[in-house]
Structure 1
Amino acid sequence: MRNFRVLKDFFIRNKWYYFFGIVWLLLVDILQLLVPEILRRFTDQLQANLLSASEILIYSLYIVAIGFGIALFRFLWRIFIIGTSRRLEYELRNKLFSHLLDLSTNYYTHHKTGDLMAHATNDINAVRMALGPGIVMLTDAIFITVIAIAMMVLTTDWKLTLLALIPLPFLAFTISKFGKVINKRFKAVQEAFSVLTDTVQESFSGIRVVKSFLQEDAEIKKFSKKNTLVYEKNMKLVKLYGMFFPLVHFVSAISFLIVIGYGGTLVIYGDISLGDFIAFEAYLALLVWPMMAIGWVINVLQRGSASMERLNRIFNENPEIVDAEDTKELPAMKGEISFEKVSFKYPGSNEYAIKDFSLHIASGKSIGLIGRTGSGKSTIATLLLRLYPVHEGTIEIDGHDINKIKLKSLRHQIGYVDQDSFLFSTTIAENIAFGVDEATAEEIKGVAKIAEVHDNIMDFPQGYQTYVGERGVTLSGGQKQRVSIARALIKKPKILILDDSLSAVDTDTEEKILGALKGDLRDKTSIIIAHRISTIKDCDEIIVLDEGRIVEQGTHNQLLSNQKLYYDIYQKQLLEERIAKD
Structure 2
Amino acid sequence: MFKTIKKLFWFFKKRKKNYIIGVLVLQLANFIIIFPPIIIGKAIDSIAKGTITWNELMTYVGFMVVLFTSEYICNFTWSYNVFSNAIVIDFDLRNMIMKKILSMPRPFFEKFSSGDLMSRATSDVTTISDLLGYGTMAFSDGICYLSTVIIAMGVIISWKLTFFSILPLPFLVLFSNYLGNHIHNEYTKQQEAFSTMSDVALENINGLRVVRSYVLENQSIANFEKSITDVYKKSLRTEIIADIFWPSSKIFTSLSYAIAIWYGSSLIASGQITLGELISFNIYLGFLVWPMFSIGDFINIAQRASTSIERIYEVLEEKDDVTQENEVKLKEDVPCDLRFENYTFKYPTSSSNNLENIDLFIPEGNTLGIVGKTGSGKSTLIKQVLKEYEYGSGDVLLGNLSLKNIEVSSLMSKIGYVPQDSILFSKTIKENILIGKNDADDEGIEKAINLAGLTKDISNFSKGVNTLVGERGVSISGGQKQRISIARALLKEPDILILDDSLSAVDSKTQMNIIQNIRNIRKNKSTIIVSHRLSLVSHAQEIIVMNDGKIVERGNHENLMEQNGWYAAQYQTQQLKEDEQND
TM-score, reference length from structure 2: 0.96
Please, which runs of 5 or more residues in structure 2 have no aligned partner? Answer: none
In structure 2, do the counterparts of structure 1 residues 275 and 123 end up closer, same or farther at CA, with 3 Å as the change threshold?
same
Counterpart residue number, 1:573: 574
Letter in 2 for 1:254: L
Q: How many angstroms apart in 2 are the aligned matches of 1:432 and 1:32?
A: 63
Matching residue of 1:362: 363
Contact kept in structure 1, 2:419 and 2:501, CA below 8 Å: yes
Match in the other structure for 1:473 = 474
Partner of 2:322: 321
Matched-pair contact (CA < 8 Å) for 1:103–1:320: no
Larger displacement relative to structure 2 (239-248 or 570-579):
570-579
| 2:303 paired residue number | 302
User: Paired residue for 2:290?
Assistant: 289
Gaps of 5+ in 1: none
CA contact (8 A) 2:372 2:545 kept: yes
Q: Secondary structure at the match of 1:331?
A: coil
1:504 aligns with 2:505: yes
Measured in 2, the distance between the counterparts of 1:326 and 1:139 equals 46
Query: Pairwise mapping of residues 53-452 of structure 1 onto structure 2 (< 5 A)?
Result: 53-325=54-326, 327-452=328-453
Which whole-Å deviations, capped at 9, do the CAs of 1:178-233 have from their partners, x for residues lacking one? 11111111111111111111111111110110111111111111111111111111
Moved more, 55-64 or 248-257: 55-64
Whole-Å Cα distance in 2 between the matches of residues 179 and 273 of structure 1? 41
Q: State the one-letter code of the partner of 2:116.
A: D
% identical equivalent positions = 35
Counterpart-to-counterpart distance in 2, 1:68 and 1:49: 30
- Residues 17-36 of structure 1: matches in 2 within 5 Å? 17-36=18-37
Deviation at 1:307, TM superposition (A): 0.9
1:399-456 per-residue CA deviation (whole Å, 9 max, x = no partner) reads 2222232322211011111111111111212211213342222222221111111332
Confirm or deny: 8 A CA contact 1:138 1:297 kept in the other structure. Answer: yes
In structure 2, the residue matched to 1:534 is 535
SS at match of 2:288: helix
Distance 1:493 1:140 in 2: 60
Tell me, in whole angstroms, the C-alpha distance in 2 between the residues paired with 1:60 and 1:580.
99
Aligned partner of 2:51 in structure 1 is: 50
Could you tell me how far apart the structure 1 residues matched to 2:501 and 2:539 are?
16
Do 2:41 and 2:280's aligned partners in 1 also have CA atoms closer than 8 Å? yes
Q: Distance in 2 between matches of 1:251 and 1:526?
A: 77
Are the equivalent residues in 2 in contact too, given 1:500–1:528 (CA < 8 A)? yes
Comparing 94-103 with 193-202, greater Cα deviation is found at: 94-103
Moved more, 331-340 or 24-33: 331-340
Q: Distance in 1 between matches of 2:174 and 2:11?
A: 33
1:146–1:397: structure 2 CA closer, same or farther, 3 Å change rule? same
Counterpart-to-counterpart distance in 2, 1:241 and 1:360: 64
Q: Is the 8 A contact 2:327 2:407 kept in 1?
A: no
Bigger mean CA offset, 566-575 vs 113-122: 566-575
User: CA–CA distance in 2 between the matches of 1:347 and 1:310?
Assistant: 23
Instruction: Go from structure 1 to structure 2 and tell me whether the alpha carbon gap of 1:28 and 1:153 turns closer, same or farther (over 3 Å shift).
Output: same
Contact 1:118 1:197 in 2 (8 A): yes
Deviation at 1:548, TM superposition (A): 1.4
**Contact 1:333 1:494 survives alignment (8 Å):** no
Distance 2:474 2:408 in 1: 31
Kindly indicate whether the alpha-carbon contact (under 8 Å) linking 1:423 and 1:472 is maintained by their aligned counterparts in 2: yes
How big is the shift at 1:122?
1.2
CA distance in 1, matches of 2:7, 2:169: 35
The offset of 1:268, in angstroms, is 4.7
2-side partners of 1:309 and 1:110: how far apart? 16
Residues 430, 466 of structure 2: 8 Å contact kept: yes
Structure 1 residues 478-500: Cα deviation after superposition (integer angstroms, max 9, x where no partner): 11111111111122111111000
Distance 2:47 2:464 in 1: 82
Partners of 1:323 and 1:407 within 8 A in 2: no
Which whole-Å CA distance do the structure 1 matches of 2:64 and 2:200 have between them?
Answer: 56
Q: 1:287 offset after TM fit, Å? A: 0.4
Q: Distance in 2 between matches of 1:274 and 1:459?
A: 89
Question: Per-residue displacement from partner, 1:14-54 (whole Å, max 9, x unpaired)?
Answer: 11110001111112211222211111121112222232223
Amino acid at match of 1:467: L
The root-mean-square deviation of aligned C-alpha atoms, in Å, is 1.7
SS of residue in 2 equivalent to 1:442 = helix
Q: 1:111 to 1:511 in 2, by over 3 A?
A: same
CA distance in 1, matches of 2:161, 2:6: 43
1:506-559 deviations in Å (ceiling 9; x for gaps): 011112211221222112100110000121122222211111112222222332
Residue type of the alignment partner of 2:450: K
**Equivalent residue runs for 1:449-460 within 5 Å:** 449-460=450-461
Name the SS of the counterpart of 1:132 in structure 2. Answer: helix
Which amino acid in 1 is paired with 2:65?
A: V
Measured in 1, the distance between the counterparts of 2:540 and 2:406 equals 28
Query: What TM-score, normalized to structure 1?
Result: 0.96
Partners of 2:47 and 2:20 in 1: CA distance? 41
> What is the rounded CA distance, in whole Å, between the counterparts of 2:7 and 2:331 in structure 1?
35
**1:92 alignment partner AA:** L
Counterpart contact for 2:242–2:300, Cα < 8 Å: no
Q: Shift in Å at residue 461 of structure 1?
A: 2.1
Question: How far apart are 1:328 and its partner, in Å?
Answer: 4.3
CA contact (8 A) 2:535 2:571 kept: no
Which is further off, 327-336 or 119-128?
327-336
Going from structure 1 to structure 2, the CA distance change for 1:358 and 1:169 (only over 3 Å counts) comes to same
**Per-residue deviation at 1:283?**
0.4
User: What is the CA–CA distance in structure 2 between the aligned matches of 1:144 and 1:7, rounded to whole Å?
Assistant: 25
1:41-96 CA deviation, whole Å, 9 max, x = no partner? Answer: 21112222232223322322222222222221111111111102211111111111
Cα distance between partner residues in 1 of 2:152 and 2:243: 33
Q: Deviations over 1:248-307 (max 9, x none)?
A: 111111111222233234335543212101110110000011111111011011111111
Q: Is the alpha carbon distance of 1:458 and 1:47 closer, same or farther for their aligned partners in structure 2, counting shifts above 3 Å? A: farther
Tell me how far apart the structure 2 counterparts of residues 21 and 419 of structure 1 sit (CA, whole Å): 55
Counterparts of 1:259 and 1:157 in 2: how far apart (Å)? 11
8 Å contact from structure 2 (residues 260, 282) kept in 1: yes
CA distance in 1 between partners of 2:327 and 2:130 (Å): 43
Q: 1: CA distance between counterparts of 2:252 and 2:275?
A: 25
Deviations 1:90-123 (A, max 9, x none): 1111111111222211110122111111110111
Asked if the contact 1:186–1:237 (Cα under 8 Å) also holds between the matched residues in 2, the reply is yes
